[in-house]
Chain A
Amino acid sequence: MEEVRIGVYVCNCGTNIAKVVDCDAICASLSKMPNVAVARTYKYMCSTPGQEMIVEDIRKNNLNRVVVAACSPRMHERTFRKALQTAGINPYFFEMANIREQCSWVHENEETATAKAEALTRAAILRVAHHEPLENLYADMCPSTLVLGGGIAGLSAALELAESGHPVFLVEKTDRLGGNLARVDLTAPHLYSARDLLTDRIARVRANPYVQLMLESELKSLSGFVGNFTAIVGAAKKNGDPHKEHVLEVGSVVVCTGYKEFDAGRVTHFGYGKLPNVVTSFEFEKMLREGNIRTKEGRIPEYFAIVHCVGSRSRDFHGYCSRVCCMTALKYAHEIKSAIPNSYVSDLYIDMHAFGKGHEDFYRGSSEAKTLFLMYGKNEHPVIKRAQPGEESEMLIEVNEQLSGETIEIPADMVILMVGMEARSESGDVARLVNISQDKDGWYIESHPKLDPVATTTEGIFIAGTCAAPKDIPDTVAQARAAAARILGRIAKQKIEIDAVFAEVDEDLCSGCRVCNSLCPYSAVEFDEEKKRSRVNSALCKACGACVAACPSCAIKARHFTDRQIFAQIEGVLR
Chain B
Amino acid sequence: MSFEPKIVGFLCNWCSYAGADLAGTSRIQYPANVRVIRVMCSARIDPTFVLKALRDGADGVLICGCHPGDCHYTEGNYKALRRYELLKQTLCAFGIEEARVRLEWVSASEGQVFAEVVTDMTEKIRALGPSRFRVEQENASQPVHQEVTK
Contact with A along B1-43 (1 / 0, CB 8 A): 0001010100000110110110111011111100111111101
Q: Is B147 an interface residue (CB 8 A)?
A: no
Contacts of A109 in B (CB 8 A): 32
| CB nearest neighbor in A for B25 | A101
Q: Which of B24, B47, B56 has the most CB of A within 10 A?
A: B24
Minimum CB–CB distance from B40 to chain A (whole Å) comes to 5
Contacts of B108 in A (CB 8 A): 437, 439, 445
- Distance, CA A54 to CA B123, complexed state (A): 41
Interface residues of A (CB under 8 A from B): 72-74, 98, 100-103, 105-109, 112-113, 115-116, 119-120, 123, 432, 435, 437-440, 445, 457-458, 501, 519, 521-522, 542-546, 548-550, 558, 561, 563, 566-567, 569-571, 573-574
| CB nearest neighbor in B for A112 | B32
| CB nearest neighbor in B for A100 | B24
Contacts of A569 in B (CB 8 A): 37
Contact of B32 among A113, A123, A574 (CB under 8 A): A113
Contact between B27 and A106 (Cβ–Cβ < 8 Å)?
yes
Contacts of A437 in B (CB 8 A): 14-15, 66, 70, 72, 107-108
Contact between B37 and A98 (Cβ–Cβ < 8 Å)?
no
Minimum CB–CB distance from A560 to chain B (whole Å) comes to 9
**Contact A123 B35, CB 8 Å, known A102-B21, A544-B76, A570-B52:** yes
Contact of B46 among A115, A548, A573, A574 (CB under 8 A): A548
Minimum CB–CB distance from A46 to chain B (whole Å) comes to 16
Contact of A105 among B27, B40, B72, B109 (CB under 8 A): B27
Interface residues of B (CB under 8 A from A): 4, 6, 8, 14-15, 17-18, 20-21, 23-25, 27-32, 35-41, 43-49, 52-53, 56-58, 66, 69-70, 72-76, 79, 83, 107-110, 115
Contacts of B29 in A (CB 8 A): 106-108
Which A-B residue pairs are the 7 nearest by beta carbons? A545-B44, A101-B24, A546-B43, A573-B35, A544-B41, A544-B73, A105-B24
Contact between B24 and A574 (Cβ–Cβ < 8 Å)?
no
- Distance, CA A571 to CA B44, complexed state (A): 18
Minimum CB–CB distance from B19 to chain A (whole Å) comes to 10
Contact between A74 and B18 (Cβ–Cβ < 8 Å)?
yes
Minimum CB–CB distance from A287 to chain B (whole Å) comes to 38
Contact between B21 and A435 (Cβ–Cβ < 8 Å)?
no
Contacts of A542 in B (CB 8 A): 73
Contact between B79 and A74 (Cβ–Cβ < 8 Å)?
no
Contacts of B110 in A (CB 8 A): 440
**Contact A521 B75, CB 8 Å, known A106-B27, A106-B28:** yes
- Distance, CA A519 to CA B56, complexed state (A): 30
Contacts of B45 in A (CB 8 A): 549
Contacts of A108 in B (CB 8 A): 29
Q: Which of A102, A105, A545 has the most CB of B within 10 A?
A: A102
Contact between B73 and A106 (Cβ–Cβ < 8 Å)?
no
- Distance, CA A100 to CA B36, complexed state (A): 12
**Contact A567 B44, CB 8 Å, known A119-B35, A457-B14:** no
Contact between A101 and B21 (Cβ–Cβ < 8 Å)?
yes
Contacts of A107 in B (CB 8 A): 29-32
**Contact A74 B17, CB 8 Å, known A115-B32, A123-B35:** yes
Q: Which of A543, A545, A571 has the most CB of B within 10 A?
A: A545
- Distance, CA A545 to CA B77, complexed state (A): 12
Contact of B37 among A439, A440, A501, A573 (CB under 8 A): A573
